[in-house]
Amino acid sequence: MCGGKTFYLETFGCQMNVHDSEKVIGTLLHEGYRQVETVEQADLILYNTCSIRDKAEQKVFHRLADYKKLQAEGKKFGVLGCVAQQEGEKIFDRAPHVSLVCGSASYRNLPQMLEQLETAGDTASHPSRKERGLSGAPTLTDPHDSRPRTQDSPLVRITGLDDRATDKCFETEYAARTNPHRGYITIIEGCDKFCAYCVVPFTRGKERSRTSDSVLAEARQMADLGYTEIQLLGQNVNSYKDPQGKCSFAELLAAVGEVPGIKRLRFTTSHPRDFGRDIVEAIDAVPTLCDHVHLPVQSGSNKILDAMQRLYTREAYLERIAWMKSAGRHIAITTDVIVGFPAETEDDFMQTLNLLDEVGYDGIFSFKYSPRPNTPALKLDDAIPDEEKSRRLEVLMQRQKEIQIANYKKYIGTVQEVMVEGKNDARNQWIGRTTQNKTLNFTVPDAQVPQVGTYVKVRTIQSFPNSLLGELVV
């Protein structure tokens, strides 16, 4: 078995976190660490956390409590991501066995933080970064932490918590993408929208975009490595502003979509306020752009949209939907909805239900409002009881299910191109994904074995609320 320091990393939350973890893993591997599958095998246990709702935040503290006993074996714990940024040094009080707390804006400083962790802990059996010929001085020990710190103290405490004013993106050439066929590229980080309920502007800092040159260089590099599907990522991906001023978001979509070798380009999440008609025109003009837009609405009531500080009205949102519906291609539309925001009446909720009917979404992510630290909505009275929030959520999901059953039925008899994603052995079905981001499982004749990552044509024969079933067109 190989030696060296080992790490285990578990990721919670959104695609941004998933991709951040790929970059963190790449950085750790470059620093000489080896990734392992279980906490028991690891020297360093990392959690990349999410704090969008209270439940997500609590998960990480449960994990830390579950494995606390492993500290006695010399293992070190680190909390990364949104909970790290939000709770900061308070994490050391709540989980004293944690050594590293690092928000996403500070990941670029991870090599120095790792160096500090190594030199403050047991260095006898492991060569230091300097001894391994790697550069970078430790500079980030928390200056406010007056607790004793010695060479072998388990109390080493490191925080990397840039404030939200940083204008740097976390770019690295070391992203360890797990899927060899489709991968993410972050084009914009942070958020300046400050919706009344949301922690993201506080945990991920101010909005900052990468240059279009660097995005295109990464897309070309991925195409050279054999990737055929790229997904551009941002909390509000379409708020992208090229620091070089060379292209708009829609022009960037077209440019990445035209990189030789790229067959599919997706982007998420779009904010309605920055959603221009030029995005729909780009989808119509560039065949590699996928026929799917995720456009979170949150509520169908203007009163609630205003209280949420969403910066658009129901009418403006529906205008954007109309642009998509009048496109040459059939664009699948999905959304996010929050129920039970403070002061949401039954009538407001009905307006949201009615919006689902009007748009006819192909999918929704729906959430009960969860009060979050630092957010303006915290000052509002969260007076809707949890049972009522649950009831509204249930009604909403049932209505959406009916809409999806009708939408998915329309695909029966059509032939769709899918990217082969894998096989469900238990059902003896292959798993495919359409350009509209629908799962289309399919059967194949005995002699055929489709390759994962390739594109095949499938005839749809049956529909379900969340997926389709078909057979390979030979």
Question: Which of ligand SF4, ligand SAM, none lies near 230, with the C-beta cut-off 5 to 8 A by kind?
Answer: none
Q: What is the CA radius of gyration of the chain?
A: 24
> Residue 336, interface with ligand SAM (CB under 6 A)?
yes
Going through 298-435 in order, the beta strands assigned E by DSSP cover 332-339, 363-368, 415-424, 429-434
Question: Which of ligand SF4, ligand SAM, none lies near 14, with the C-beta cut-off 5 to 8 A by kind?
Answer: ligand SAM
* Contact with ligand SAM (CB under 6 A) among 235, 299, 352, 400: 235
**d(C-alpha 255, C-alpha 126), whole Å:** 46
**d(C-alpha 235, C-alpha 299), whole Å:** 18
Residue nearest to ligand SAM according to CB distances in the complex = 296
Question: Which of ligand SF4, ligand SAM, none lies near 279, with the C-beta cut-off 5 to 8 A by kind?
Answer: none
Question: Which of ligand SAM, ligand SF4, none lies near 336, with the C-beta cut-off 5 to 8 A by kind?
Answer: ligand SAM
356-370 burial code (b ≥16 CB/10 A, e <16): beebebbbbebbbbb
* Contact with ligand SAM (CB under 6 A) among 187, 200, 254, 418: 200
Phi first, then psi, for residue 391 (nearest 5°) are -65, -45
> Residue 104, interface with ligand SAM (CB under 6 A)?
no
Asked if residues 129 and 137 have their Cβ atoms less than 8 Å apart, the reply is no
For residue 237, how many C-alpha atoms fall within 13 Å in the half-sphere facing its CB? 24
**d(C-alpha 349, C-alpha 50), whole Å:** 27
Nearer to ligand SF4, 193 or 457 (CB): 193
Phi first, then psi, for residue 366 (nearest 5°) are -120, 140
Question: Which of ligand SAM, ligand SF4, none lies near 194, with the C-beta cut-off 5 to 8 A by kind?
Answer: ligand SF4
Binding to ligand SAM (CB under 6 A) within 273-332 occurs at: 296, 298
Residue for token pair 């962790």: 117
Q: How far is the CB of 80 from ligand SAM (least distance, A)?
A: 17
| Four-point Cα dihedral 309, 338, 51, 333, nearest 10 | -90
Question: Which of ligand SF4, ligand SAM, none lies near 52, with the C-beta cut-off 5 to 8 A by kind?
Answer: ligand SAM
* Contact with ligand SAM (CB under 6 A) among 8, 67, 197, 430: 197
Binding to ligand SAM (CB under 6 A) within 371-400 occurs at: 372
> Residue 367, interface with ligand SAM (CB under 6 A)?
yes
Asked if residues 208 and 190 have their Cβ atoms less than 8 Å apart, the reply is yes
In single-letter form, the type of residue at position 43 comes to: D
Q: How far is the CB of 309 from ligand SF4 (least distance, A)?
A: 8
Q: Enumerate binding residues for ligand SF4 (CB under 6 A).
A: 191, 193-195, 198, 200-201, 235-236, 271
> Residue 53, interface with ligand SAM (CB under 6 A)?
yes
* Contact with ligand SAM (CB under 6 A) among 28, 156, 305, 338: 338
Question: Which of ligand SAM, ligand SF4, none lies near 201, with the C-beta cut-off 5 to 8 A by kind?
Answer: ligand SF4
Length reported for the chain: 474
Q: How far is the CB of 209 from ligand SF4 (least distance, A)?
A: 15
Q: How far is the CB of 189 from ligand SF4 (least distance, A)?
A: 11
**d(C-alpha 439, C-alpha 401), whole Å:** 16
- For the residues of 63-79, what is the DSSP string, one character each? HHHHTGGGGGGT-EEEE
* Contact with ligand SAM (CB under 6 A) among 11, 212, 236, 400: 236
> Applying CB under 6 A, what is the total number of residues that bind ligand SAM?
18
**d(C-alpha 472, C-alpha 450), whole Å:** 9
182-186 β-sheet, strand order: 182-186, 229-233, 264-268
Q: Interface with ligand SAM by CB under 6 A: which residues?
A: 14, 52-53, 197-198, 200, 235-236, 269, 271, 296, 298, 336, 338, 367, 369-370, 372
